[in-house]
Amino acid sequence: MEYEKWRDDIFGQPVGSDPVMLDLLPETYSVSPDEHFAHIDRALSDPQIHELFNSDQIGTGLQLIYSNSCSDICFCYIKAGDEARRVSGIAKLNDLYAKYFDRYCLSPVGSIGNDHLNGGIGYLCYMLWDIFVLYPGNASPAMVSAALGVMSNALQMKNDNCIVSAIHGLGHWATDVPRAPQVLRQWLRKPTTTNPTVISYAKEATTGCVL
């Protein structure tokens, strides 16, 4: 399936669509995990997406990709290619933060939770590591390290929503991956935000206590 046709099916759904209820093109359902992976990597760096679709459509498309309650597409992160391919794909999630979450998730963080202040993309930003198919139990050490790298980089951003997303993920991984709370404690020594709500959440997350 050509990338442009795949992209338009994923991101071109009607505004207000529920990603759980959508029917994609038969071709899209037939795409292999390897091809999905290649298209996702390209989409994360595709500037045309921001010109062709609005934030609601982009949020729906990203949920179709990353939530396994919406589709099976995200399983490419644990099934496609070899370990090196999966690691490179996980590392590309840095672009998800830098080119999507940072761009569209702009509401101030006054409380912690998936409150939809930034629409569907805001929900995904907060819940990514909660609903994403990748977790320590099904990932190799190299894949875990790549994911921790993405979360660590997100902690260094100036966007509180991105920071909270990373804290949320690290908190979920804290009991299984010793390095996760270490990353949080290191960040707390020199936080990139002065928001007391975010800092308090990070302190709680070091114990694995996250909403």
Distances in Å between the alpha carbon of 189 and those of 25, 139, 148, 166, 182?
Answer: 49, 29, 18, 16, 11
Residue 90 has a CB neighbour count (10 Å cut-off) of: 23
Mean pLDDT of 153-176: 98
For the stretch 172-202, pLDDT in tens is 999 999 999 999 999 999 999 999 999 999 9
Q: In whole angstroms, what is the distance from residue 99 CA to residue 102 CA?
A: 6
- Those residues whose C-beta lies under 8 Å from the C-beta of residue 51, and which sit 6 or more positions away, are none
For the stretch 73-105, pLDDT in tens is 999 999 999 999 999 999 999 999 999 999 999
Overall pTM surpassing 0.85 (yes/no): yes
Residue 162 · residue 103 · CB < 8 Å: no
Three-state SS annotation for 14-49: CCCCCCCCCCCCHHHHHCCHHHHHHHHHHHHCCCHH
Looking at residue 115, its pLDDT comes to 66
For the stretch 122-157, pLDDT in tens is 999 999 999 999 999 999 999 999 999 999 999 999
Looking at residue 185, its pLDDT comes to 98
